[in-house]
Amino acid sequence: MAAGGLLCPCALLASCQRCSSSSPPPSSSCSPTDEFKSSSVVELMKKEGTTLGLTVSGGVDKDGKPRVSNLRQGGIAARSDQLNVGDYIKSVNGINLTKFRHDEIISLLKNVGERVVLEVEYELPPVSVQGSGVMFKNVEVTLHKEGNTFGFVIRGGAHEDRNKSRPVTITTVRPGGPADREGTIKPGDRLLSIDGIRLHGTSHAEAMSILKQCGQEATLLIEYDVSIMEVMDLPPAVCIGGCGKGGEVPLVPGQ
């Protein structure tokens, strides 16, 4: 703490940098190798005559693997909080899509029935490393479920291939969902525990099961990154207490 009872600029910046971290971590423009990919099974239920609310691109005739190119807001797929745009669809109800044309994939998804099981492949979230100007902070967040979800997608978790093990990471916060309305959780945050149940060492499937089985209200322990900027970048007004994480106290230099 600096003279006069004020926090030093570096400490202030470590708290305040969180204010601008609402975007997901940048991903590489290069295609990830299998070492940086994982897969999971997504089960969706739809009524007869309705659609899943997702757009799929690719196919053997489109020079690319089938992938989710859009999730319609309010659609079944989006509200399931299990899919991200960019996920590759490997199979539908056990039917491998490797040799399917684009139109065949679309027809299959339309006529597959009320229970739809997708095997999806995706890029693993990057690993955050404490140090080099980055530090970790924790915060507890209490959320209420809507439709048995909290409004975010998780990826990562323990894997039998240690190179693919990652912390359980929030990759998407669904607009208008419980987490988005509460405002604390951002893409890239790590989910450490759910109602006191630690997720260290749990697989993605196990973490998903814990989320589904917990009550309508749950307390989540979240870990997030804060960056320490150079003093010369000190903004006109900074804040104390972890901006965007509750309890912030504005401080204007000179006051």
Q: Out of 22-36, 178-192, 200-214, which region has the weakest mean confidence (pLDDT)?
A: 22-36
At residue 33, the pLDDT reads 63
- Confidence grade of residue 219 (pLDDT, cut at 50, 70, 90): very high
* pTM: predicted TM-score of the whole model, two decimal places: 0.77
Q: Where are the alpha helices (DSSP H) in the chain?
A: 9-16, 76-79, 102-111, 178-182, 204-213
Q: Is the pLDDT of residue 202 over 80?
A: yes
- Confidence grade of residue 229 (pLDDT, cut at 50, 70, 90): low
Q: Is the pLDDT of residue 225 over 70?
A: yes
Q: Out of 6-20, 57-71, 106-120, 151-165, which region has the weakest mean confidence (pLDDT)?
A: 6-20
How far the first Cα of the chain sits from its last, in Å, is 16
At residue 101, the pLDDT reads 96
At residue 232, the pLDDT reads 33
Give the chain's domains with CATH numbers.
3-21+125-251 (2.30.42.10), 34-123 (2.30.42.10)
Q: How far is CA 89 from CA 117, 130, 158, in A?
A: 10, 34, 22
Give percent of the chain with pLDDT exceeding 90.
63
At residue 50, the pLDDT reads 87
C-beta separation of 226 from 18 below 8 A: yes
Q: Is the pLDDT of residue 32 over 90?
A: no
Q: Which residue has the higher pLDDT, 20 or 245?
A: 245
Q: Model confidence over 36-83: pLDDT tens digits?
A: 899 999 999 998 888 999 999 999 998 789 999 999 999 999 999 999
Residues in a beta bridge with 232: none
